[in-house]
């Protein structure tokens, strides 16, 4: 009477062995097929560049939610989990992700590759004690360098899809070339004496240098502290002396300070230039749209 029971138990053990053998008893290496490739980055403008190259073969996660200030961002446990499940973390570098080393360490994924997109570019204000100004992507030529690095990194992880990534990158680089030329021509419509601006924070030197603007001052500097009363008075005097035509606020940052300065000087206030974040509307939800919207806003205000 016991024999069928023993046979049943043996068959059960055999079935369990086959299941374990087929499914694998040990953790498997990260999936390298681009169909399921997941990559992470910090901010939404970079995420869009990655999507343009990766297309529908890459799932892109940006840690800093659209519309928020990345300077105050600290990764949460869920962010660490997302990075741990990624094949690549695309960092901007130049101090944009001060949390990077700790984030990668906590993710504890030995297969995770970290790619710093600003490597090889000229970083402004970089000194021994300062990683420099991180906002390189606001010069379209720097964004092209980012795209080329993204392309090469994706091909390295998923060489089977190299032709797909190459084709996407080629198409997008042509669009970026057209954008770069359009910005130059459009900024050229501003009278030379009016091509001077005051912005909220130090995000704009790369854009200004590339496209022929002069940044007179930023309202806040590296520490993001509001100006002292003496500095604020000097700003008012500078605006009057230079006949500044507009003051520019930025998406993701509190507009009150710029609005107050505009009110105190009688100068036009232009809100929501996009730099560290994309927007949620068709004219701001991609890198191309963001750059066109910024340029149109600047030109309209200064002409």
The full DSSP string for 227-284 is PPHHHHHHHHHHHHHTT--EEEEETTS--HHHHHHHHHHTPEEEEEE-SSS--SSTTT
In a domain, 233, yes or no: yes
Q: Same structural domain for residues 197 and 76?
A: no
pLDDT at 274: 95
Q: Which two tokens stand for residue 81?
A: 């989990």
Q: Same structural domain for residues 120 and 230?
A: no
pLDDT confidence band for 225 (50 / 70 / 90) = low
Domain count for the chain: 2
Model confidence pLDDT, tens digit, residues 121-137:
999 999 988 999 999 99
**Residues with Cβ < 8 Å from 30, sequence gap 6 or more?**
87, 109, 111
> How far is 106 from 100, CA to CA, in rounded Å?
10
Q: Same structural domain for residues 179 and 194?
A: no
pLDDT confidence band for 19 (50 / 70 / 90) = very low
Residue where one domain finishes, among candidates 152, 183, 214? 183
Q: Same structural domain for residues 172 and 209?
A: no
Q: Which two tokens stand for residue 294?
A: 């910024």
Q: Same structural domain for residues 101 and 173?
A: yes
- How do beta strands 88-91 and 113-116 pair? parallel
- Total residues found in the chain within this entry: 303
In a domain, 141, yes or no: yes
Query: Which of 43-47, 96-100, 148-152 shows the lowest mean pLDDT across its residues?
Result: 96-100
Task: Tell me the average pLDDT across 114-118.
Answer: 98
| Residue (of 204, 214, 29) closest to 125 by Cα position | 204
Answer yes or no: is pLDDT of 16 > 80.
no
Q: What is the DSSP letter of 173?
A: H
Q: By residue range, what is the domain housing residue 179?
A: 34-183
Q: In the predicted model, what is the mean pLDDT of the chain?
A: 88
Q: Same structural domain for residues 179 and 229?
A: no
Task: Tell me the average pLDDT across 291-302.
Answer: 97
DSSP secondary structure letters along 145-164: HHHHHHHHHHHHH-GGGHHH
Q: Same structural domain for residues 156 and 193?
A: no
pLDDT at 35: 54
pLDDT confidence band for 226 (50 / 70 / 90) = confident
In a domain, 7, yes or no: no
Query: Which of 19-23, 98-102, 111-115 shows the lowest mean pLDDT across its residues?
Result: 19-23
> How far is 1 from 66, CA to CA, in rounded Å?
69
Q: Which two tokens stand for residue 195?
A: 């091509």
Cβ neighbourhood burial of 78 (10 Å; 0-12, 13-18, 19+)? exposed
> CATH number for the domain including 49?
3.40.50.1980
> How far is 48 from 39, CA to CA, in rounded Å?
12
- Residues 142 and 94: beta-carbon distance below 8 Å: no
- Residues 220 and 271: beta-carbon distance below 8 Å: no
In a domain, 5, yes or no: no
| Residue (of 261, 269, 255) closest to 301 by Cα position | 269
Task: Tell me the average pLDDT across 67-73.
Answer: 81
- Residues 288 and 278: beta-carbon distance below 8 Å: no
More confident residue, 78 or 66: 78
In a domain, 97, yes or no: yes
Answer yes or no: is pLDDT of 15 > 80.
no
pLDDT at 55: 97
Answer yes or no: is pLDDT of 11 > 80.
no
**Residues with Cβ < 8 Å from 205, sequence gap 6 or more?**
124, 125, 133, 135, 215
| Residue (of 185, 141, 143) closest to 296 by Cα position | 185
Q: What are phi and psi of 108, to 5 degrees?
A: 50, 45
Q: Same structural domain for residues 71 and 193?
A: no
Answer yes or no: is pLDDT of 303 > 50.
yes
Q: Same structural domain for residues 60 and 158?
A: yes
Residue where one domain finishes, among candidates 168, 183, 198? 183
pLDDT at 228: 86
Q: Same structural domain for residues 174 and 220?
A: no
pLDDT at 253: 84
Residue where one domain finishes, among candidates 183, 211, 226? 183
More confident residue, 1 or 152: 152
In a domain, 28, yes or no: no
pLDDT at 129: 84
In a domain, 212, yes or no: yes
Model confidence pLDDT, tens digit, residues 158-189:
999 999 999 999 999 999 999 999 999 999 99
pLDDT confidence band for 5 (50 / 70 / 90) = very low
Q: Same structural domain for residues 214 and 125?
A: no
In a domain, 79, yes or no: yes
Q: Same structural domain for residues 205 and 86?
A: no
């Amino acid at each position: 009477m016991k024999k069928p029971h023993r046979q049943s138990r043996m068959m059960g053990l055999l079935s369990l062995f086959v299941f374990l053998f087929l499914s694998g008893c040990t953790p498997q290496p990260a999936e390298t097929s681009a169909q399921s490739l997941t990559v992470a980055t910090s901010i939404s403008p970079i995420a869009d560049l990655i999507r343009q190259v990766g297309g529908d073969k890459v799932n892109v996660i940006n840690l800093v939610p659209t519309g928020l200030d990345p300077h105050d961002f600290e990764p949460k446990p869920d962010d660490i989990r997302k990075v741990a499940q990624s094949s690549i973390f695309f960092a901007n570098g130049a101090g944009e992700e001060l949390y990077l080393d700790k984030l990668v360490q906590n993710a504890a994924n030995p297969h995770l590759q970290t790619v710093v997109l600003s490597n090889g570019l000229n970083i402004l204000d970089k000194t021994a004690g300062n990683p420099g100004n991180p906002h390189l992507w606001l010069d379209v030529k720097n964004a092209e360098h980012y795209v080329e690095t993204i392309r090469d990194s994706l091909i390295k992880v998923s060489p089977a899809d190299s032709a797909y990534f190459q084709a996407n990158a080629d198409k997008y680089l042509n669009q970026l070339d057209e954008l770069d030329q359009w910005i130059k021509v459009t900024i050229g419509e501003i009278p030379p004496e009016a091509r001077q601006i005051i912005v909220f924070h130090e995000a704009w030197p790369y854009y200004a240098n590339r496209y022929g603007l002069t940044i007179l001052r930023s309202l806040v500097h590296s520490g993001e502290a509001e100006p002292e009363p003496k500095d604020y008075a000097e700003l008012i005097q500078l605006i009057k002396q230079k006949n500044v035509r507009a003051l520019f606020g930025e998406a993701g940052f509190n507009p009150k300070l710029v609005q107050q300065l505009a009110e105190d000087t009688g100068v036009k206030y232009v809100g929501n230039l996009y730099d560290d974040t994309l927007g949620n509307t068709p004219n701001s939800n991609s890198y191309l749209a963001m750059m066109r919207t910024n340029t149109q806003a600047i030109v309209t205000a200064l002409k």
